[in-house]
Structure 1
């Protein structure tokens, strides 16, 4: 029995590193019964969790018309971006340092903080703002809610991605596709809530409040589903295998505790993947949503233009991340080369802002925004799926958290660079 267990663990590590389907290979070689993901329930829940931990951020930036009315003299999305990702980065680094903090508690706490942050907007509107614009105290409280969402994101994103990194590739792909689906869902929610109410200040307030209430209900669903997924047989199976790997390595006197040296070894293996993820989001966040929603304008579309551009980006980001389920580029050199090639978006967007008149019209700007979303989604997914497979299974969770750190680092740097478009 012990020999059989060791063979299973060996195969699991081998297949984890080769991106193969662990279930089929291990079951064939060792006659082990692998629980099935009945009705793809675990996959669907990880998809919804990916949607959930980015939904609050997307909710804040997609209500751009509402916040622009309340605070007309502020670069709202640029402020939101810097605050959100700065808080998220700092707290993710703190969480990583104290990584013994239980992931189950971490994720539930983060989802609870998301609820509090989303509740701020409708409550402050009902009891303080009441449709009036230019109230700076309202802006300060809203920015504080955005910062609280950043803290919650650090708690939830690192935990969910670390958990998915220990599972077969399809679950990380589910999380990443879910993050893009979040943007699509929020964009269409905003379009619907804006369309069903009168196009005046009362309609704008009512649509924004309804929009945030729907987002709150979605986070409640995420809390319920997260507490369900850990009890599914397939998740229990992989958690047990991970425990076996750790126990086996300890028996072999291979200490699994993550010292500074072992973390450095992991960093050496994934450094280029991490740099690629950071570069992708530096380019994207320095352009979107700040420049896309605040620096380009349309006489025809009016305040619908920013919402349309955000929707286009989110839809194509979702398409890009979903494409990895059909074709996953397994050549890291090509993927990293594509990350560098995306620097070309800078001169292209400069053309849309200051170039010939044609390039500043709706069609070129919308097309370029769609391409920005597509390349962000696909290449970020490729790099983030491949990175955890560079290490052994017992280090996959740590690698997933490290990749999340690189991701948020890129987002934070990009959000700061977005202010340079104003210079």
Structure 2
């Protein structure tokens, strides 16, 4: 038996302190206020920060197309990012029970920050590598960034699943804000610095500064009373299901009140072998057949086992006197007749798989909906959007399309906070109708030498619709899904939704290669759109005495 069991005391306040729980906890109906919306704003910044590296690579499309002409750099970076993100989501689900939110998020922040610094200084600022080596470095860097950012993303969605739904919406709005901020940042740096290398370097520097600010805000937020309150509720929900008292078959125990009369103490007295004197064999006696409880106790309180303070352990105990104490005693929730060994890793893995399967069955419509939304988006953005030609805008065209997408994606995620109860069928229908955008935007770029839908307005309009629907119908399922399961399973629900989200991203990025093949070979010149025939005034002969003007048409 454990040494702390042999000592026989467990102080409730010390147990709570050891778990990191507050000693004075507010009532469940009165959570601490989020003054100045500090938690909301921090999660908003967090959502922006873990998508900022990916958006920084994508919005530097003009630099990469200039540096690697006639390459598929945008398609390759998108695919590498999504593949690495899927690996990160699976890894995060495996490590869910081994590392805390804070550990996983901090690891992701440091990994992303270090990679962005390396790319900005070595691959863009110094630029001492050959074209092929630099190309490979960029792909490896975005894969590493994807792993770190998705580790943060999956952990944040699991974390906000334990908070009220508005905080999940804050993270998703922050994701769109990342795209919007990066779009503005790229427009400003491209306009202020005419040299592509210098403008891209400053562009990455601004992104790195935001990542540094996010890392500091995150650690401050984790100590906020509101966050600690909801994490405590989640932990208590888990402990009520998991805490057990393990005893050997040769041992018996009696749970008694402390002689000092302090309500914060319970005394677990171990006896081996079990006594047969009959003392205390009433309802306050613990045995394998009779878990101890008092009828006056209002709710069961688990009794973990810890060492007592010296002042208590030195007090002499009188079992017969203590057993007659009418004060409430503590109920032992479960009794397992076995040695107190930790469960095997296989049993833990099996329980985790079963829990995830049960959660997936409860939220599968939301998983399918968010998967379809991001499948459509990644089929077109950023790959096809970067291939739409324009003689008028030139290298600005992909930046305009991506900025339009990011702006209205941000608006759509804000609109997701509107108090409307979307049904599962409505979400599935909306995500299915979005598939019509794939052929529409594709016809704006295919075939390259003569697109079927000509003009600059149409691709911008399709990009606006794509962005708004992505923001709205990509957020609502993520917000609603955790509320469809119990509090103890909300982190799993958030991670399962992130898994489906990344599945849609991966399949969409692979389909984008098929769409790229439909565009045909690269064209060296852009399409000159036809203009309508306009009437012109022909010069009047000087000897004509009338004032008649002759209209001619110039073709």
**Equivalent residue for 2:137?**
141
In structure 2, relative to structure 1, the CA distance for the partners of 1:234 and 1:204 (3 Å cut) is same
Deviations 1:316-358 (A, max 9, x none): 0000010012344432211111011111112212332348968
Q: Which position in structure 2 is the counterpart of 1:79?
A: 76
For residues 84-123 of structure 1, the C-alpha deviation after alignment (integer angstroms, 9 at most, x for no partner) is 1101101221221222222211111111111122113222
2:198 aligns with 206
Residue 194 of structure 1 and its aligned partner are, at CA, apart by 0.5
Instruction: Please show how residues 107-126 of structure 1 align to structure 2 within 5 Å.
Output: 107-125=105-123
Are 1:354 and 1:360, in contact at CA under 8 Å, matched by a contact in 2? no
Matches within 5 A, 1:323-334: 323-334=415-426
Contact 1:129 1:135 in 2 (8 A): no
Match of 1:150 among 130, 146, 150: 146
Greater fraction of residues in strand = 2
Deviation at 1:184, TM superposition (A): 0.2
Tell me how large the CA RMSD over aligned residues is: 2.1
Aligned equivalents of 2:170, 2:116: Cα separation in 1: 24
Q: TM-score, normalised by structure 2?
A: 0.67
Q: How has the CA–CA distance of structure 1 residues 124 and 232 changed in structure 2, closer, same or farther, with 3 Å as cutoff?
A: same
Q: Which residue in the other structure is 1:184 paired with?
A: 180
Asked if 1:159 is matched to 2:155, the reply is yes
Point out where structure 1 has 5 or more consecutive residues left out of the alignment: 1-26
Give matches, 1:259-338, under 5 Å.
Answer: 259-293=352-386, 295-338=387-430
Match of 2:219 in 1: 227
Structure 1 residue 128: Cα displacement: 5.0
Q: TM-score with structure 1 length normalisation? A: 0.87
Query: Which residue of structure 1 lines up, in the alignment, with residue 502 of structure 2?
Result: 408
Of structures 1 and 2, the one scoring higher in RCO (CA 8 A, sep 6+) is: 1
Alignment-derived partner of residue 55 in structure 1: 52
The alpha-carbon deviation at position 385 of structure 1 amounts to 0.7
Q: What is the distance in 2 between the residues matched to 1:302 and 1:86? A: 31
Deviation at residue 192 of structure 1 after TM alignment: 0.4
In structure 2, what is the Cα distance between the partners aligned to 1:83 and 1:44?
A: 31
Residue 129 of structure 1 corresponds to: 127
Deviations, residues 109-164 of structure 1 (Å, cap 9, x unaligned): 1111111221132222467526x9x7110111111100101110221111111101
Distance 2:403 2:454 in 1: 19
- Mapped to 1, the partners of 2:181 and 2:38 lie a distance apart of 20
1:297-324, CA deviations, whole angstroms, 9 ceiling, x for partnerless residues?
Answer: 1111110111111000000000001001
Take 2:365 and 2:418, find their aligned partners in 1: how far apart are those partners?
24
Task: Indicate the residue corresponding to 2:527 in structure 1.
Answer: none
Divergent runs of 4+, >4 A: 355-358
Contact 2:125 2:201 survives alignment (8 Å): no
Note if contact 2:443-2:451 (Cα within 8 Å) is conserved in structure 1: no
Equivalent residues of 1:173, 1:385 under 8 A apart: yes
Larger fraction in helix: 1
Alignment counterpart, residue 197 of structure 1, candidates 168, 190, 193: 193
Alignment CA distance shift 1:364-1:151 (3 Å): same
